[in-house]
Amino acid sequence: MGMGSTLDKSGEAKSRGTTPQPVFATTRWSIVLSAGRNESTQCRAALEKLCHTYWYPLYAHARRKGHSPTDAQDLTQAFFAQLLSGQTLAHADPARGRFRSFLLCALNRFLIDEWHKGQAQKRGGNLPSFSLDAAQAEQRFDLEPAAPDTAPEAVFDRQWAVTLLEEVLSRLESEYREAGKAALFAALKQTLTGASDAQPYAELAHSLGLSESMVKVSVHRLRKRYRELLLNEISQTVESPQEAQEELRYLFQVLCKA
């Protein structure tokens, strides 16, 4: 599929050395891990950023577990409120590395140990609030294909991968818009998927009033920046360059199986 091919090219580009190494000492997940030992504004801000980016896969996971839209909303809000309060971070194991794995494990534990035992308070009770767009989430969930024979964890990982790509695409679009190149991005974003030799460069050149060679240069720059942002976003949820490469390959495999 298209998203898969984009991830694949990212992995190839990285192996050729065209994408710079992220600075893993300051990734958001590394900062969050330290929050369990040392609370700080920086830790909370890093955690909030990760939560607001990746809350939907957890909402959808609660829905697939059989919870109603209202209950799934309450569960997700209460879970993130508890997470942001620092109560759950004590269970974070740095050896497990990935924020994705930690979140899913923590949510499953929360669904069993907190909600069903009546220990969680509706919408987080007195815990710090965590807002989410439940209406938008439910619309998105309704459009998702049913996968009764697929393990919930596998579906979660696919939704995580899709959310990650959407976040990267949004960041890339913002950069182009801020640079006054929104129209160029709108015309060229289709080239982020599929093989290079399958792109309609001549048609794009005609519609943009540019030469075909200029379009190819613009596409090369767009893809290069997309690859950089993709690896950077992945690096925010792991602890080392090796884990980032492993995560990249794994998410590509997940999308290819969809």
DSSP conformational letter for 149: T
Residue 58, domain extent: 2-126+135-257
Q: At 109, is the pLDDT very low, low, confident or very high (cuts 50, 70, 90)?
A: confident
Q: Retrieve residue 105's tokens.
A: 């494990």
Q: Which helix (H) or strand (E) holds 173?
A: helix 152-178
Distance of alpha carbon 238 from alpha carbon 172, whole angstroms: 21
Q: Residue 92 has what pLDDT?
A: 66
- Picking from 82, 87, 100, the residue whose alpha carbon sits closest to that of residue 29 is 100
Q: Considering its fold, how many domains does the chain have in total?
A: 1
Q: What is the DSSP letter of 151?
A: -
* Residue-level pLDDT at 115: 55
Nearby residues of 24 by Cβ (< 8 Å), 6 or more positions away: 30, 235, 238, 239, 240, 241, 244
pLDDT at 26: 56
CA dihedral 247, 248, 250, 252 (to 10 degrees): 160
Separation of alpha carbons 163 and 24, rounded Å: 21
Check: CB of residue 72 under 8 Å from CB of residue 59.
Answer: yes
**pTM score:** 0.74
Q: Which residue has the higher pLDDT, 223 or 198?
A: 223
Q: How confident is the model at residue 35 (pLDDT cuts 50, 70, 90)?
A: low
The mean per-residue pLDDT over the stretch 179-207 comes to: 88
Cα–Cα distance, 249 to 95 (Å, whole number)? 19
Q: What is the pLDDT of residue 91?
A: 63
Give the mean pLDDT of 159-171. Answer: 94
- Cα end-to-end distance, the chain, whole Å: 8
134 phi, psi to nearest 5 deg: -65, -35
pLDDT classification of 244: cutoffs 50, 70, 90? confident
pLDDT of residue 23: 47
Q: What is the DSSP letter of 20?
A: P
> Looking at the chain, how many residues does it have?
258
Q: What is the pLDDT of residue 78?
A: 86
pLDDT category, 114, cuts 50, 70, 90? low
